[in-house]
């Protein structure tokens, strides 16, 4: 049998052709168009390395799964140990200790009434579970979410996801799924008055665009929901596990929801996993009789490798003080970026919490710069930010992302191990990228090529 090293040594340039042939040719086209075809060969902490050993700072973090950094030695050790123990994984008609221990650790870190845990294999799966649990608890069908929300791409989760790009061609959606404007309590009450609402699903900080609702939104929304017999589900798939400088982002608010979903970073980015934390009442509404004890679940839920990685991840987060570091580095990064705004008026806003951070751009001052922006914007909305992202990777070895389709918002979801010299790296890269000469001809040309590519490959 070939070793993994043998297989990896075949990687070279062939990787993109093989992907184009069998997995997703359009994705390969996009990678090539934006020069993201880097074929990294190794990851360590917040860094990625190419075949020549060049180091790239990863601010994308696998869409926010690497809170503890890539290939953390303690998580690798836990996984190797779990394999070497020849555990009786997935007996199914039995209880395994690792899932119980991980549930206990999650409950310890969560607000008191959230004492039951349902495990899943992804963020979207946690949302699907929460939809079913909300309907079972309230006996009502309707599900509310924010217009620009992102809750995943499976059918139920997609029904609660606002972005049209993801919804196009996939309707009809879940009956009863209705969206309300972001951060709008009056719209919420209007919907609740219809009497059919099971739950409101919200991200504490909206991932698409990195928008924070008013500070008292969640506490007031919870009171309204209670008044009309509906539940609050806080989707912490992206914001949970220390990302915002607290274990859960809801700790920044004066609210205790009925359910919280977590996933992404829970297993250190190693094994797919997710969990719904909920009150006993919500749990009992679904799993209330012996013949209903497994009415919801999946083959791989509670699998030992995900659970072992989850336990190790929580230890690493505690041992390395990653929650405190996320708060500290987030503040430092925000302060330094806000200072840059004085020098670069093209920066409209810097927002976020902990290490979930966004920079929003606006048309620059000055006739020529405004014209260049307008050309890019006409080709494709959000193209300016895409060009900034390409420049950050091309010239400064920083991997980042746009915060959503057609948004002029650059987003960072780095590992929470980010340090002060990484912050210097980011700030000087953004400074140089936005400096006059650079927001000039080169960027315009790059954007026009990219825009043409995007238009022709549709």
Q: How far apart are CA 262 and CA 239, in angstroms?
A: 8
Nearer to ligand PLP, 63 or 228 (CB): 63
Site for ligand PLP in 54-73 (CB under 6 A): 63
Site for ligand PLP in 345-374 (CB under 6 A): none
Binding of ligand PLP at residue 207 (CB under 6 A)? Answer: yes
Q: Which of 43, 69, 123, 204 binds ligand PLP (CB under 6 A)?
A: 123
Q: How far apart are CA 61 and CA 70, in angstroms?
A: 8
Q: Is 118 helix (H, G, I), strand (E, B) or coil?
A: strand
Cβ contact 279:273 at 8 Å: no
Binding of ligand PLP at residue 118 (CB under 6 A)? Answer: no
Binding mask 73-112 for ligand PLP (x = CB under 6 A): ----------------------------------------
Q: How far apart are CA 95 and CA 177, in angstroms?
A: 35
Nearer to ligand PLP, 298 or 438 (CB): 298
Beginning with the edge strand found earlier in the chain, give each strand of the sheet holding 47-49 in spatial order. 42-44, 47-49, 55-58, 398-399
Q: How far apart are CA 185 and CA 268, in angstroms?
A: 36
What the block records as the tokens of 379 is 């080709």
Angle subtended by helix axes 25-33 and 14-22, to nearest 10: 140
Helices (H) and strands (E) in the chain, counts: 18, 15
Q: Which of 68, 79, 98, 127 binds ligand PLP (CB under 6 A)?
A: 127
Binding of ligand PLP at residue 124 (CB under 6 A)? Answer: yes
Asked if omega into 172 is within 30° of 0 (cis), the reply is yes
The least CB distance from residue 154 to ligand PLP, in Å, is: 7
Nearer to ligand PLP, 259 or 376 (CB): 259
The least CB distance from residue 374 to ligand PLP, in Å, is: 32
Scanning 27-35, 139-147, 149-157, 373-381 for contacts with ligand PLP by CB under 6 A, the matching segment is 149-157
Nearer to ligand PLP, 110 or 391 (CB): 110
What the block records as the tokens of 270 is 């190693």
DSSP secondary structure letter of residue 92: S
Nearer to ligand PLP, 236 or 360 (CB): 236
The least CB distance from residue 125 to ligand PLP, in Å, is: 7
Q: Is 276 helix (H, G, I), strand (E, B) or coil?
A: strand
The least CB distance from residue 279 to ligand PLP, in Å, is: 20
Q: CA–CA distance from 234 to each of 47, 164, 205, 351, 354 (Å)?
A: 31, 22, 10, 20, 18
Q: Is 206 helix (H, G, I), strand (E, B) or coil?
A: strand
The least CB distance from residue 346 to ligand PLP, in Å, is: 27
Instruction: Please name the residue that has the structure tokens 């939809």.
Output: 131
Nearer to ligand PLP, 247 or 425 (CB): 247
Q: Which of 43, 61, 69, 152 binds ligand PLP (CB under 6 A)?
A: 152
The CA dihedral of 347, 353, 356, 357, to the nearest 10 degrees, is 10
The least CB distance from residue 274 to ligand PLP, in Å, is: 7
Scanning 145-153, 192-200, 280-288, 376-384 for contacts with ligand PLP by CB under 6 A, the matching segment is 145-153
Scanning 26-34, 69-77, 122-130, 312-320 for contacts with ligand PLP by CB under 6 A, the matching segment is 122-130
Scanning 24-32, 99-107, 117-125, 355-363 for contacts with ligand PLP by CB under 6 A, the matching segment is 117-125
The least CB distance from residue 124 to ligand PLP, in Å, is: 3
What the block records as the tokens of 39 is 């074929």
Which helix (H) or strand (E) element contains residue 412?
strand 409-412
Q: What is the Cα Rg of the chain in Å?
A: 23
| Nearest residue to 236 via CA among 46, 64, 414 | 64
Binding mask 225-264 for ligand PLP (x = CB under 6 A): ----------x-xx------------------------x-
- Interface with ligand PLP (CB under 6 A): 63, 122-124, 127, 150-152, 203, 207, 235, 237-238, 263
């Amino acid at each position: 049998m070939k070793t993994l090293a043998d297989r990896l040594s075949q990687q070279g340039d062939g990787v993109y052709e093989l992907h184009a042939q069998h997995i997703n040719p359009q994705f390969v086209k996009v990678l090539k168009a934006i020069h993201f075809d880097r074929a990294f060969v190794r990851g360590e902490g917040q860094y990625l390395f190419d075949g020549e050993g060049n180091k790239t700072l990863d601010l994308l973090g696998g869409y926010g799964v690497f809170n503890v950094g890539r290939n953390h030695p303690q998580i690798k050790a836990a996984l190797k140990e779990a394999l070497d123990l020849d555990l009786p994984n997935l007996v199914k008609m039995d209880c395994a200790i690792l899932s119980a221990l991980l549930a206990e650790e999650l409950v310890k870190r969560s607000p008191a009434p959230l004492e039951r845990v349902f495990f899943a294999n992804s963020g979207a799966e946690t949302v699907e579970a929460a939809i079913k649990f909300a309907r079972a608890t309230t006996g009502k069908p309707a599900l509310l979410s924010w217009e620009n929300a992102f809750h995943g791409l499976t059918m139920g989760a997609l029904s609660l996801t606002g972005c049209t790009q993801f919804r196009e061609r996939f309707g009809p959606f879940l009956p009863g799924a209705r969206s309300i404007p972001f951060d709008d309590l009056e719209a919420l009450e209007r919907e609740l008055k219809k009497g059919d609402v099971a739950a409101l699903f919200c991200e504490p900080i909206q991932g698409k665009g990195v928008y924070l609702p008013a500070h008292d939104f969640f506490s007031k929304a919870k009171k309204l929901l209670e008044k009309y017999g509906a539940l609050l589900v806080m989707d912490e798939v992206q914001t949970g596990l220390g990302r915002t400088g607290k274990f859960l982002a809801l700790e920044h608010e004066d609210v205790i929801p009925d359910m919280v979903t977590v996933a992404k970073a829970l297993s250190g980015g190693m094994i797919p996993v997710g969990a719904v934390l909920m009150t006993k009442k919500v749990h009992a509404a679904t799993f209330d009789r012996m013949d209903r004890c497994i009415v919801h679940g999946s083959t791989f839920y509670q699998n030992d490798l995900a659970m072992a990685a989850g336990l190790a991840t929580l230890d690493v987060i505690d041992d390395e003080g990653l929650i405190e570091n996320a708060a500290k580095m987030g503040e430092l990064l925000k302060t330094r970026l806000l200072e840059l705004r004085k020098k670069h008026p093209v920066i409209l806003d810097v927002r976020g919490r902990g290490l979930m951070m966004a920079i929003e751009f606006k048309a620059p001052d000055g006739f020529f710069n405004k014209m260049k922006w307008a050309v890019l914007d006409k080709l494709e909305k959000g193209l300016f930010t895409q060009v900034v992202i390409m420049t950050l990777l091309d010239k400064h070895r920083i991997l980042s992302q746009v915060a959503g389709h057609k948004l002029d918002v650059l987003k960072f979801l780095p590992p929470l191990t980010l340090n002060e010299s990484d912050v210097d790296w980011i700030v000087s890269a953004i400074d140089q990228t936005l400096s006059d000469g650079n927001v000039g001809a080169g960027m315009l040309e790059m954007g026009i090529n990219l825009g043409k590519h995007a238009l022709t490959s549709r």
